Structure 1
């Protein structure tokens, strides 16, 4: 059991309607809220959740197929439904996760989809239970869903007001440190009309040092296109100084990937590998070496430890920056540097499930089960506890009227 945050609100309980490995529930616990009901369709996820949250009632069920009356009504509910943009309804073929990964394992059918719950299950459950606060987490692209206006309208018709929040998990720092990972997600906060609105600015604006004002400020989100106020950090928005005459672009301090790297684990020298790395991988490594290596007096190179992502256009980066977004499969390699003569002297290994869980900001005491691949799947599917912690605390403050003071971050490393 992780250390308690000191917050305790026994009269506020929560339904975690896609509990997964338990990131949203862990965040709720850190915010002092009792998780009363936890639901998921994957038996292993329910098993892991029940071990770490034994006081919650658990049900292994497909939310899209069950009657909301099956469960007790709680004050709050958290939903992390599957992204509707990528369902068969959009004409895209659903990915079948049946190939061997680098761990040599195949996931069971029950784990193939993130969740069988959909955005419309949020409406079904809210219609019956009339939760006072509903928190919905999804990928940023869900805002492009063709039925987004209809979905919002349905919740408004039920008597809810709402606010869309775009938050990167590394900036979720109101009640403690954020995750050592750059992870953009969209959250929709619903509260019942007539209730106090949550103070979203108070809970989602990270502290940053403004060099022009020479003081620490609560940075404000500045959208590059004001007509599109949603998206990803640095792509669609920046953080700026809130001072009217300043508005300097700021970079909040964040945790580095180095916080989760276990350097004691063995890694194989690239030149000694029995099976050579793919040419595309080697090309990325060479590019990373060219970008980050420094020559030594002896004619060699000094190279920092690096992270090599295996997806998208993300490039090799030093471990003193946050880890790129953790996905549901192992997609990050570690390159251990030091003084080398060339690429062949770098040591290479994939990140472990434990390092992925730490990158999601699960506590070290969290207990996992399953194969390596199943553990990576659960971690990559989860909500980062810091994001859930801050948003649930924000909701509790609105519900109870009790002022909860955010804590100052001790971070000093900027990314």
Structure 2
């Protein structure tokens, strides 16, 4: 089956973020609230459909599919029922619950597996309620087609998949297609993932979280496991395509032989052994210094931010000769690798030796950037392919936390959305929960309205760190005032007209002056690999590379390498250190709080400060 990506207006980004500074609350406690049912609404214990089927809370119902009527291998969405509600004024009966979608209807976000679902919660941006409450949807009873057996599980695929259901044994006369249709329309459904979509005021999603269900959110599985044991005795092997894209065949018999080993790993990683006990907080100790690696490091903006945040920078990797030279000059205690990401790890080094607590990845973004339209060049192809090295590198290095910075065009441009979803899938398949957000870096002290896509991913078993809170804003916001061009260039302005001997600060007067503008504001455009459309506020000259470095939040003493053009490229491609520092400080605080027993791996963290 070929499923087109959704249009930009309907494009779904996922996340489970709560904005309020409040104590961490479990999804279970959030889901027990009944304050969203008020008169004239009343809750019913159950409701019977016209054909006799009774619907009650905790049931899963299949909704009518109005888009693919008549197609045998398509269906509507599903709803995990939380409440059955009747309106006393109108007599209308409807269901309130959590929406589930087949993974094949989520574009490239999840692997397309037979009868695998993902929970999709659409939450208004700024809603401080738990996503399992804010994401509840009302569905008219007329939309319900039938009830279905569905298990919410935190166990990895294929545990508790359709193979564990009651309807997984069929007559030998059934063709493979007939068996697949029977399972599709009547077999056990499984939901393992949560995809929370935060909807902004303009109706578009700009942030979200993709994660596995927590143990406390999963259904009890004793009954389903018993069903699986009973089904293992079937005599005939049934070959099925469990991938909805028909690329792989598995044998139920072969799969069952591997269940014992899979089960052992699952029990070690994901079974909930009852109420969690908080460890006693240890005595105060020194702050832990976490290790840091920088893939696609460029000139070292991310590593500079990590150093400012107190992390120990261990290594950086980039294919550009001048960029890795600049990196080594500014981070002499780390290992610089001039290496192609497709050939990771570098020759002579094992992934174990390169393992770090925090890994940052910023693949080249030119192909996806609004500042440059694709021209079909070889660089475009190389930049696109570099995006798909993220997942393999994560699997090889296995950091506790990974971060990624990209141009916002990757997630907002319709032609690039499929690559964005594939990137999120690669990170998730590497074993990570993640959150992503489009962030304006001016809110963190950058003197330019630079919008970037940021991703934080945490390996399963590690709490997912939150994004840092904005530190700068307009007057009256209670935050520091926005950082302006004048503020950023202050270290240079203090030098006046004195010669500096800095090859990257040699101002040259333009033959034809440009219109001057007020330096008490932002740059007119973002700094790009070519410098962008920016020029000095005086209108008499362009910015020097040193000034562009300050505007990108590099220290005035930072060393660049190569020609002035190469230096500008290193600056424009960099992850601004001021934003990197804010992210890595938050991540380090999260890891330290977890390591010292103050928080747990499955806590939903809103604010670590």
TM-score normalized with structure 2 length: 0.43
Within the alignment, does 1:14 sit opposite 2:296 as a pair?
no
Which of 320, 324, 336 is the equivalent residue of 2:520?
Answer: 320
> What secondary structure, in the 3-state scheme, does the structure 2 residue paired with 1:390 have?
helix
Does the 8 A contact of 1:85 with 1:145 survive in 2?
no
Q: Mark the CA change 1:349 to 1:131 in structure 2 (over 3 Å): closer, same or farther.
A: same
Rg (Cα) greater in structure:
2
Within the alignment, does 1:76 sit opposite 2:358 as a pair?
yes
Does the 8 A contact of 1:63 with 1:116 survive in 2?
no
Equivalences, count? 288
Does the 8 A contact of 2:519 with 2:537 survive in 1?
no
Q: Mark the CA change 1:83 to 1:327 in structure 2 (over 3 Å): closer, same or farther.
A: closer
Q: Mark the CA change 1:258 to 1:191 in structure 2 (over 3 Å): closer, same or farther.
A: same
Quote the offset at 1:24 in angstroms: 0.2
Within the alignment, does 1:39 sit opposite 2:313 as a pair?
no
In structure 2, C-alpha distance between the alignment counterparts of 1:136 and 1:210, rounded to whole Å: 31
1:216 alignment partner in structure 2:
478
Which of 550, 558, 570 is the equivalent residue of 1:366?
Answer: 558
1:332 alignment partner in structure 2:
534
Which deviates more, 145-154 or 395-404?
395-404
Q: Which runs of 5+ in 1 are unaligned?
A: 1-7, 98-111, 173-177, 218-251, 286-304, 307-317, 337-346, 407-415
In structure 2, C-alpha distance between the alignment counterparts of 1:364 and 1:209, rounded to whole Å: 26
2:392 alignment partner in structure 1:
124
Which of 572, 580, 583 is the equivalent residue of 1:380?
Answer: 572
Within the alignment, does 1:158 sit opposite 2:430 as a pair?
yes
Q: Which runs of 5+ in 2 are unaligned?
A: 1-285, 498-506, 599-606
**Which structure is richer in relative contact order (CA contacts within 8 A, separation 6 or more)?**
1
> What secondary structure, in the 3-state scheme, does the structure 1 residue paired with 2:559 have?
coil
> What secondary structure, in the 3-state scheme, does the structure 2 residue paired with 1:179 have?
coil
Within the alignment, does 1:254 sit opposite 2:254 as a pair?
no
In structure 2, C-alpha distance between the alignment counterparts of 1:356 and 1:67, rounded to whole Å: 33
Quote the offset at 1:95 in angstroms: 5.7
TM-score normalized with structure 1 length: 0.62
Quote the offset at 1:116 in angstroms: 8.1
Quote the offset at 1:163 in angstroms: 0.5
Within the alignment, does 1:137 sit opposite 2:405 as a pair?
yes
CA RMSD of aligned residues (A): 3.3
Does the 8 A contact of 1:164 with 1:187 survive in 2?
yes
Quote the offset at 1:50 in angstroms: 0.7
1:148 alignment partner in structure 2:
420
Q: Mark the CA change 1:185 to 1:171 in structure 2 (over 3 Å): closer, same or farther.
A: same
Within the alignment, does 1:185 sit opposite 2:452 as a pair?
yes
In structure 2, C-alpha distance between the alignment counterparts of 1:113 and 1:364, rounded to whole Å: 35
In structure 2, C-alpha distance between the alignment counterparts of 1:163 and 1:375, rounded to whole Å: 32
Q: Mark the CA change 1:92 to 1:384 in structure 2 (over 3 Å): closer, same or farther.
A: closer
Quote the offset at 1:397 in angstroms: 1.3
Counterparts of 1:79-118 in structure 2 under 5 Å?
A: 79-83=361-365, 85-86=367-368, 92-94=374-376, 118=386
2:584 alignment partner in structure 1:
392
> What secondary structure, in the 3-state scheme, does the structure 1 residue paired with 2:541 have?
strand
Within the alignment, does 1:59 sit opposite 2:337 as a pair?
yes
